[in-house]
Amino acid sequence: MDIPYTVHARPDTGLYNAKIGIWLFLASEVMLFGGLFSAYIFLRVGADYPWPVHDLDVTLGFINTVVLIASSVTVVMAWACLKLRKFGWYRINMAITVLCAAVFMFNKTLEYKAKFAHYAVKLTDGTLLTGHLPHGYQIKFGDVTELELSVPVKNSAVTADPVGYVLPLIDGEAPKFKTEDGQEIALDSKSFASLAASALEKAKAANKGSASIKLVSATPLKFIAKPSEIFGYTATTLTFRDGTTATGKLTDDKMTLEVDGVDARGVAQSEKSLAFDHRYLGEEWQKAFVANRDHHIAKFEKDYPTRDKARSATLQKESLFFKLHSATPPAAGEAHGDKHGAEAHAPAEGGHGEAHGHHPTVVLEKKDITFFSNFTPKLNTYYAIYFTLTGLHGAHVVIGALVLAYFLCFDNKRLKQDPEHLANRVEVGGLFWHFVDLVWIFLFPLLYLL
Amino acid sequence: MSAAATSHDHAHDHSHDDHAHDHHEQSFVWKYIFSSDHKTIGMQYGLTGLIFLLFGFFLMLLMRWSIAYPGVPVPAIETIRSIPGICDLFEAMFGRWLNADGSLNGELYNMLGAMHGTIMVFFGIVPLGFAAFGNFVMPLQIGTIDMAFPRLNMMSYWFFFISCVLMMYSFFVGTGPVQTGWTMYSPLATTTSMGVTSVWSHGHTWWLTAMVFNISASLLGSVNFIATIINLRTKGMAWMKMPFFCWAMFVTAFLLLLAFPPLEVAAILQLSDRVFGSSFYLPTGLMEGGKHLDISGGGSPLLYQHLFWFLAHPEVYVLILPAFAILTDIIPCNARRPLWGYKSMVYSVLTLGFLSFLVWAHHMYLTGMGTMMSTYFQITTVLISVPSVILLTCLMVSLWGGSIRFNTQMLFASAFLPMFGIGGLTGLPLAFSFIDLALHDTYYVIGHFHYVVAPGTIFALFAGVYHWFPKITGRFMNDKLGKWHFWPSLLGMNLVFAPMFIQGMAGFHRRWYDGGKYFENTSGFSHWSTTLTHKIGAFFGFDIPDNMLSLNIVMSVGAFILALGQVPFIINFWFSIKGGKKTTSDNPWDATTMEWATPTPPPHGNFLFDPVAHRGPYEYSVPGHGTDFYPQWESEPGKPETKPAADKVLAHH
State residue B148 phi and psi, 5-degree precision. Answer: -65, -35
Contact flag B278-A227 (C-beta cutoff 8 Å) = no
B213, B308 Cβ separation under 8 angstroms: no
User: What sign for the dihedral angle of Cα A150, A154, A158, A160?
Assistant: positive
Q: How far apart are CA B93 and CA B91, in angstroms?
A: 6
User: Over 60: is that where the pLDDT of B645 sits?
Assistant: no
pLDDT at position A387, please?
A: 96
Gap from A392 CA to chain B (nearest CA, Å): 10
Alpha helix (H) residue ranges in B399-432: 408-430
Residue B169 in 3-state DSSP?
helix
Distances (CA, A) of B403 to B334, B370, B406, B622, B638: 8, 53, 10, 14, 22
Range with the poorest average pLDDT among A118-132, A302-316, B24-38, B229-243: B24-38
Distances (CA, A) of B30 to B42, B154, B530: 15, 11, 57
Which is more confidently placed, A158 or A295?
Answer: A295
User: Over 90: is that where the pLDDT of B561 sits?
Assistant: yes
Percent of chain B having pLDDT more than 90? 76
The string of pLDDT tens digits covering residues A401-445 is: 999 999 999 988 888 899 999 999 999 999 999 999 999 999 999
Whether chain A has a CB inside 8 Å of the CB on B195: the answer is: yes
pLDDT at position B644, please?
A: 57
Q: How far apart are CA A90 and CA A77, in angstroms?
A: 7
- CB contact set of B461 (below 8 Å; sequence gap of 6+): B125, B128, B129, B133, B322, B323, B326
User: Over 50: is that where the pLDDT of B571 sits?
Assistant: yes
Contact flag A3-B195 (C-beta cutoff 8 Å) = no
Range with the poorest average pLDDT among A165-169, A268-272, A344-348, B357-361: A344-348
Whether chain B has a CB inside 8 Å of the CB on A157: the answer is: yes
Which pLDDT band, with edges at 50, 70 and 90, does B393 fall under?
very high
Residue B92 in 3-state DSSP?
helix
User: Roughly how many angstroms between the first and final C-alpha of chain A, as a whole number?
Assistant: 55
Whether chain B has a CB inside 8 Å of the CB on A306: the answer is: no
Mean pLDDT (whole number) for A222-251: 88
Answer left, alpha or beta for residue B359, where phi above 0 means left and psi between -120 and 50 means alpha.
Answer: alpha
User: Over 90: is that where the pLDDT of B320 sits?
Assistant: yes
**Which among B186, B220, B265 is the top mutation candidate for probing chain A, defined by the most A β-carbons within 10 Å of its own β-carbon?**
B265
Q: How far apart are CA A430 and CA A280, in angstroms?
A: 55
Distances (CA, A) of A308 to A197, A316, A340: 70, 11, 40
Q: How far apart are CA A433 and CA A78, in angstroms?
A: 12
**ipTM of this complex:** 0.91
Which pLDDT band, with edges at 50, 70 and 90, does A146 fall under?
confident
- CB contact set of B89 (below 8 Å; sequence gap of 6+): none
Which of A236, A232, A274 lies closest to A364, judged by CA?
A274
The string of pLDDT tens digits covering residues A324-341 is: 888 888 754 443 433 333
pLDDT at position B439, please?
A: 94
Chain B neighbours among A 107-126 (CB < 8 Å)?
Answer: 122
Q: Determine the residue of chain B that is closest to A14 in CA distance.
A: B231
A251, A362 Cβ separation under 8 angstroms: no
Chain B neighbours among A 37-56 (CB < 8 Å)?
Answer: 38-39, 42-43, 46-49
Q: Determine the residue of chain B that is closest to A3 in CA distance.
A: B19
Which pLDDT band, with edges at 50, 70 and 90, does B275 fall under?
confident
User: Over 70: is that where the pLDDT of B640 sits?
Assistant: no
pLDDT at position A325, please?
A: 84
pLDDT at position B19, please?
A: 43
Q: How far is CA B275 from the centre of its chain?
A: 31
Chain B neighbours among A 351-380 (CB < 8 Å)?
Answer: 370-371, 373, 376-380
Q: What is the greatest pairwise CA distance in chain A?
A: 88
Mean pLDDT (whole number) for B159-170: 96
In one-letter notation, the amino acid at residue B200 is W
Whether chain B has a CB inside 8 Å of the CB on A34: the answer is: yes
Mean pLDDT of all residues belonging to chain A: 88
Chain B neighbours among A 402-431 (CB < 8 Å)?
Answer: 414, 417-418, 421
Contact flag B21-A1 (C-beta cutoff 8 Å) = yes
Range with the poorest average pLDDT among A192-206, B133-147, B292-306, B455-469: A192-206
Residue A207 in 3-state DSSP?
coil
Mean pLDDT (whole number) for B496-515: 93
The DSSP code for A2 is -
User: Over 70: is that where the pLDDT of B18 sits?
Assistant: no
The DSSP code for B209 is H
What is the length of chain A? 450
Buried b or exposed e, range A303-336, using 16+ CB within 10 angstroms: eeeeeeeeeeeebbbbbbbbebeebbbeeeeeeb
Output the pTM of the full model: 0.90
User: Over 80: is that where the pLDDT of B516 sits?
Assistant: yes
User: Over 80: is that where the pLDDT of B42 sits?
Assistant: yes
User: Over 80: is that where the pLDDT of B197 sits?
Assistant: no
Mean pLDDT (whole number) for A182-195: 85
The string of pLDDT tens digits covering residues A365-391 is: 988 999 999 999 999 999 999 999 999
Contact flag A227-B294 (C-beta cutoff 8 Å) = yes
Which pLDDT band, with edges at 50, 70 and 90, does A176 fall under?
confident
Residue A213, beta-bridge partner list: A149
Alpha helix (H) residue ranges in A146-281: 189-205
Residue B176 in 3-state DSSP?
coil
State residue A374 phi and psi, 5-degree precision. Answer: -80, 175
Mean pLDDT of all residues belonging to chain B: 90
Mean pLDDT (whole number) for A24-53: 94
Mean pLDDT (whole number) for B320-344: 96
Which of A311, A315, A319 lies closest to A290, judged by CA?
A319
Which pLDDT band, with edges at 50, 70 and 90, does B24 fall under?
low
Contact flag B15-A10 (C-beta cutoff 8 Å) = no
Q: How far apart are CA B640 and CA A48, in angstroms?
A: 72
